[in-house]
Amino acid sequence: MRAKATLITGAAGEVGQALIQALAKERAKDRNTDGDNGRHILTMDLNPLPAHLATSVTHIQASILDTATLDRLISEYEIEEIYHLAALLSTRAEFSPDAAHRVNVEGTMGLLHLAAQQSEWRGEPVRFLFPSSIAVFGLPDQHTKQQYARVREWEWNYPSTMYGCNKLYCEMLGIYFSRHYRQLAADRGPSLDFRAVRFPGLISADTLPSGGTSDYGPEMLHAAAQGKPYACFVREDVRIPFMAMPDAVKALVDIAAVPLEVLSRPVYNITSFSLSAGDFRDRVRSFFPDCQITFKPDSKRQRIVDSWPSDLDDSTARRDWNWSPDYDVERAFAEYLVPMIRRRYEGIEVPIGKESPDQQLG
């Protein structure tokens, strides 16, 4: 019999690393109460995992486009759930749009096929969790961005980047596979259970993003904590929504856990707080008064954030599956980002009793 498994693609990335910690902790708890139920966490990435994560999972260092590896995986494991995190982010995708299309679209298509096959074999839909993005929105100009401050899921779905186009199309592919694929031929149930959340810019205390356009937030903070100067690549006044990494993981785990019937849509906006780049600098400065942050906008990256909404309306997620971030802006900086980043760069211990993201994720 094949062992049951959860597959995480893009596992060595920012969200992947945080998700592994959360899922591994959950599995360890399950094992303590139910004994070893044989469920594995399989991770896939082009890069190796950091040593502290590698012990709790089975890591496959390979591309999601490597079909031979995917075939081997499904011959060895019964995959019940897929967190498909692998993607080239928005700035990187502008530099290599063909590679982005291959990884972001063809890679997703391959995994949707794999999930549909597995669902058919099991007679039960595989859960497919997909992190989408604010990049699926594209507001045409500053005036419109100000006018439509909190954007709903179906508004302004006119992405201006390759990454945004890829994410929006893959949301649609996921919906197609879950609702329509093969159903004309036979009256089967859904061929897979596709659920997506649209993340705002994510900020982690443990890792730095690479190749994204919301990266200026985390980069500013990590640079300040290391006493390094930082030139922010967007204007001070541009505003987008953000979220602390423990909340991003919580959103994925929470939406995966609810019964399908409570979800009124396959794709949800989620957010936590909205800041201009100048507000972000001020927050950072209040904890690191000597920080040297300047603004040196890059026109291409500026155009990308100018097209993203200044805030998201996530009321449907709040209503349907009780989505609510644990970290508002105050808590995110004071109780997660700053203490954890200090611990990382300055060796300052977090006082006992202060919340750590590990506790949050547990």
Q: Which residues bind ligand SER (CB under 6 A)?
A: 89-90, 133-135, 163, 199, 201, 212-214
DSSP annotation string for 280-348:
HHHHHHHH-TT--EEE---HHHHHHHHHS-SEE--HHHHHHH----S--HHHIIIIIIHHHHHHHHH-P
CB closer to ligand SER, 214 vs 272 = 214
CB closer to ligand SER, 21 vs 132 = 132
CB closer to ligand SER, 116 vs 135 = 135
Q: 152: which DSSP letter?
A: -
Minimum distance from residue 67 beta carbon to ligand SER (Å): 27
Q: If residue 121 lies in a helix (H) or strand (E), which one and from where to where?
A: helix 107-122
How far apart are alpha carbons 9 and 209 in whole angstroms?
16
Residue 286, both tokens: 């209040």
CB closer to ligand SER, 77 vs 230 = 230
Minimum distance from residue 17 beta carbon to ligand SER (Å): 15
Residue 125 CA, distance from chain mean position: 22
SS3 178: helix
Minimum distance from residue 183 beta carbon to ligand SER (Å): 31
Minimum distance from residue 267 beta carbon to ligand SER (Å): 14
Minimum distance from residue 165 beta carbon to ligand SER (Å): 13
What is the phi/psi pair of residue 57, to 5°?
A: -140, 170
CB closer to ligand SER, 114 vs 252 = 252
Minimum distance from residue 171 beta carbon to ligand SER (Å): 13
CB closer to ligand SER, 41 vs 234 = 234
Give yes or no for a contact between 277 and 49, defined as CB atoms under 8 angstroms apart. no
